[in-house]
């Protein structure tokens, strides 16, 4: 009897825990068709099959910061709240949106961090000193709430001002966009991860974006296909699991409002179906 009770308990725990395959998933919105709160709630309920954590990209556009925060709390999710940064006036708009959210008395207990900008240095839309100053301004606002602050940047764009300003580092790397063959892609990703760790001054490093498309044009030796996407997803999850690395995978679902290969990085299609040939067993037991 004790054996069967233990087995039953193990199955229940495994079924609950194994479903949370990803540390987190990135999601996007069609900014030309701003979604309502219910859209976020419905989407997060679908994403919960695979993770208990999401990442957004803007505070002010479509009022995403407030809506995504509300939806995450409604669905019991953790969230990284993103701030889009491409010009000084954009940052001020995003910062104002965050200020208003703080002033409203909203709870930030499920906010893992505020991410100030995504690939700002890579796109040459601010220099390191300016981005570091943005990070410090946000930290002054939310550190009293117990919320950490960082930025998300391409793996080779972490200079000392940025490393010193953030609470931890978040790096993006897409071996697909480096023209890497699929059988070398996972090793290339973690090679980049190791390079960032070596320059992080002991701060924690997370992977904030990586993924592989299921369709679209080849990029040099990188070939988008359902089979290659499955290979990359499994490989990233397996290596991250072995090494204890937190990966926010890009992305939760295909984004049909994007053109070409950019719209096919999702693990789910636009109707929230897991994309074949990826299976739940691939995600729960990637090794």
Task: CATH number of the domain at 166, please.
Answer: 3.20.20.80
pTM: 0.93
Q: Could you tell me if residue 157 is inside a domain? A: yes
- With respect to residue 217, please indicate whether it lies within any of the assigned structural domains: yes
For the chain, what is the domain count? 1
Q: Does any domain span residue 234? A: yes
- Give 208's contacts (C-beta < 8 A, 6+ positions apart): 26, 55, 80, 115, 118, 152, 170, 171, 172, 248
Q: Which residues pair with 140 in a beta bridge?
A: none
pLDDT in tens, 146-157: 999 999 999 999
What would the pLDDT profile of 70-115 be if each residue is shown by its tens digit? 999 999 999 999 999 999 999 999 999 999 999 999 999 999 999 9
**CA dist., res. 1 & res. 7, Å (int):** 10
Q: Bridge partners of 222? A: 219
Contact criterion met (CB below 8 Å) for 174 and 230: no
H/E stretch holding 26: strand 24-26
**Does residue 16 register a pLDDT over 50?**
no
pLDDT (mean) for 237-265:
96
Residue 64 belongs to some domain of the structure: yes
Checking if the pLDDT of 9 tops 60, the result is no
Is 5 within the bounds of a domain?
A: no
Q: Is residue 41 part of a domain?
A: yes
Q: Is 4 inside any structural domain?
A: no
Contact 119, 154 (CB under 8 A): yes
Residue 9 is assigned to a structural domain of this protein: no
**Domain limits for position 133:** 23-284
| Tokens, residue 175 | 């071996």
Terminal-residue alpha carbon distance, the chain = 33
pLDDT in the model for residue 20? 64
What span, in angstroms and rounded, lies between the C-alpha atoms of 165 and 132?
Answer: 6
pLDDT at 3: 36
- Pick the closest to residue 164 from 151, 176, 155, 173 (CA basis): 151
Q: Give the tens place of pLDDT for each residue, 24-83.
A: 999 999 999 999 999 999 999 999 999 999 999 999 999 999 999 999 999 999 999 999
**Kind of pairing, strands 111-118 and 148-154?**
parallel
pLDDT (tens digit per residue) in 136-185: 999 999 999 999 999 999 999 999 999 999 999 999 999 999 999 999 99
pLDDT of residue 248: 98
* Overall residue count recorded for the chain in this entry: 287
């Amino acid at each position: 009897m004790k054996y069967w009770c233990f087995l039953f308990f193990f199955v229940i725990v495994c079924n609950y825990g194994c479903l949370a395959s990803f540390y987190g998933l990135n999601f996007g919105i069609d900014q030309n068709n701003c979604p309502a709160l219910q859209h976020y709630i419905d989407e997060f309920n679908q994403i919960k099959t695979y993770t208990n954590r999401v990442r957004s990209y803007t505070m002010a556009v479509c009022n995403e910061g407030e809506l995504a925060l509300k939806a995450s709390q409604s669905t019991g999710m953790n969230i990284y709240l993103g701030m889009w940064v491409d010009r000084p006036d954009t940052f001020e708009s995003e910062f104002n949106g965050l200020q208003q959210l703080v002033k409203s008395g909203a709870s930030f207990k499920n906010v893992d961090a505020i991410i100030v900008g995504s690939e700002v240095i890579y796109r040459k839309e601010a220099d390191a000193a300016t981005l570091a100053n943005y990070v410090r301004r946000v930290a002054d606002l939310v550190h009293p709430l117990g919320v950490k602050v960082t930025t998300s940047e391409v793996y080779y764009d972490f200079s000392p001002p940025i490393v010193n300003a953030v609470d931890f580092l978040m790096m993006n790397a897409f071996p697909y966009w480096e023209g890497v063959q699929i059988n070398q892609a996972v090793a290339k990703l973690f090679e980049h991860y190791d390079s960032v760790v070596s320059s992080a001054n002991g701060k924690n490093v997370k992977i904030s974006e990586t993924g592989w498309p299921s369709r679209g044009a080849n990029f040099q030796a990188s070939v988008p296909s359902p089979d290659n996407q499955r290979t990359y997803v499994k490989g990233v999850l397996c290596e991250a699991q072995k090494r204890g690395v937190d990966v926010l995978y890009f992305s939760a679902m295909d984004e049909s409002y994007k053109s070409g290969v950019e719209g096919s990085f999702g693990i789910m299609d636009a109707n929230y179906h897991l994309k074949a040939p990826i299976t739940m067993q691939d995600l729960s037991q990637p090794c």
